[in-house]
Amino acid sequence: MKYSIGGFCDLFLDFCKGIEDLLDRVKVEGDTAVIDAKGLTHKELNDLMRYAVVEKGVSRLKLLNVMGQRYIGTRLYLPDSRKVEIEVHGFPGNDLGAFLAGHKIVVYGNAQDGVGNTMDDGEIIVHGRAGDVVAMAMRGGRIMIRDDVGYRTAIHMKEYKDKVPVLIVGGTAQDFFGEYMAGGRVVLLGLNLGDKPHRARYIGTGMHGGIMYIRGKVEQWQLGKEVGIVDMEEEDWKFLEKHIGDFCKEFGFEKDEILGGKFLKLKPVTKRPYGRIYAY
C-alpha cells in the first residue's frame, strides 16, 4: 500500500495501477499515441497521457473507450510550451480539460459537467452536448460545444488584457447562463430550437464583465437584473464572423444562415452590481 497513512489504505490511490502495469494500453505510432482507456481510473489515464507526451515525446493523443474518466488533459502542463492534440472517443467525465494549458481537445461524444473548468489556454471542441458549469472560471482559450449545455454555463468566466476566453454553444442553454460573468465572450446560437424560444432563466445574473451574444428568442423576464441589451456594432459582427466561421468549419453548419439570424448583445449594467449592498 504505497499511499497508506498510519496503516490506513487510500481508497482511491491504492487501487490505481502504476504506469509499469499499464504499458500495454499505449501504442505509439510516429507522433501519435493511442491509449485504450477502457476501465481505467482517471489517475491511470492521465498518468498514461503524461507518460506518452513527456517520456515518448508524442504530440497527438488518441483516447479510445473513454467512459466517465475525469480531468482529462489537466495534468499536461509542459514547461517548454509544447502543444498536444487530444482526440477523445467516448464519454469523458467531469472537469474535462480543467486548467488546460494550451492543448487542443476534440471529443467525439458527449461531455459532462465542468468542461474547461478554469482553463488557461487552448481549445476544447465537443461533437455533442455538455453538462452543467461549462467554462466555469475559464480565463483563456476557446470552447465550442455543438449541442446543448446545462446550468450555470460560463459562471465567473474572466478576462485579463489580451487573454479573452471564448465559448460558443450551438444548441441552447439552461438557467443561470453567464452567471457572475466577469469577462470573456459567450455565444449562444440556438441552432436546434427552430422557432422556439430559449428556455433559460436568470441569464447573466450577477454579470459584471464580458459580452454575451444570444441568437434566437429571449424575453426580458429571462434576463438577470444585472444585464442590459445593447446594440451590435461593427466589431461584434467581425468577432462573430470569425468564430462562427470556425464553428461551422468544425461541425459543418452554414455560416451565412447562422449569421443571418437575430442576435442579442448583452452587457453588464455595472461593473460592481452588488457594490451598494454592503456600503452606503
Partner 1 sequence: MRGKRVVLPDKDHQACGLFGVIDRSGRRFSGEMAINAMINMKVRGNGLGGGFAAYGIYPEYKDYYALHVMFQDWDMEAKHRVDEFLDANFDVVYAEEIPVNPEANVASPPLFWRYFVSPNKKGDEKKLSDDDYVVKKVMEINTKINNAYVVSSGKDMGVFKGVGFPEDIAEYFMLAEEYKGYMWTAHSRFPTNTPGWWGGAHPFCILDWTVVHNGEISSYGTNKRYLEMFGYYCTLLTDTEVMAYAVDLLMRKQGLPIEIVSKIFAPPMWDHIDIMDEKKKKFYTALRMNYGPLLINGPWTIVVARHGEMFGITDRIRLRPITSGEKGDLLFVSSEESAIRAVCPDLDRVYTPMGGEPVIGRLKSREKELAKQLSEVE
Task: Tell me which residues touch partner 1 (CB under 8 A).
Answer: 4-12, 41-42, 67-68, 70, 90-94, 110, 112-113, 129, 131-132, 148, 150-151, 174-176, 199, 201, 221
Least distance from partner 1 to the Cβ atom of residue 72, Å: 12
**Whose CA is closest to 43, among 4, 17, 10, 76?**
17
Least distance from partner 1 to the Cβ atom of residue 8, Å: 3
Least distance from partner 1 to the Cβ atom of residue 110, Å: 6
Closer to partner 1 at the Cβ: 5 or 279?
Answer: 5
Least distance from partner 1 to the Cβ atom of residue 117, Å: 14
Query: In this structure, are residues 217 and 198 in contact, taking their beta carbons and an 8 Å threshold?
Result: yes
Closer to partner 1 at the Cβ: 70 or 158?
Answer: 70
Distance separating alpha carbons of residues 268 and 228, to the nearest angstrom: 6
Closer to partner 1 at the Cβ: 57 or 68?
Answer: 68
Report the DSSP beta bridge partners of residue 121: 101
Query: In this structure, are residues 145 and 164 in contact, taking their beta carbons and an 8 Å threshold?
Result: no
Least distance from partner 1 to the Cβ atom of residue 175, Å: 7
Closer to partner 1 at the Cβ: 6 or 260?
Answer: 6
Closer to partner 1 at the Cβ: 95 or 120?
Answer: 95
For 236, the grid coordinates are 461584434
Q: Are strands 263-268 and 209-215 parallel, antiparallel or unpaired?
A: antiparallel
SS3 17: coil
Residue type at 86?
I
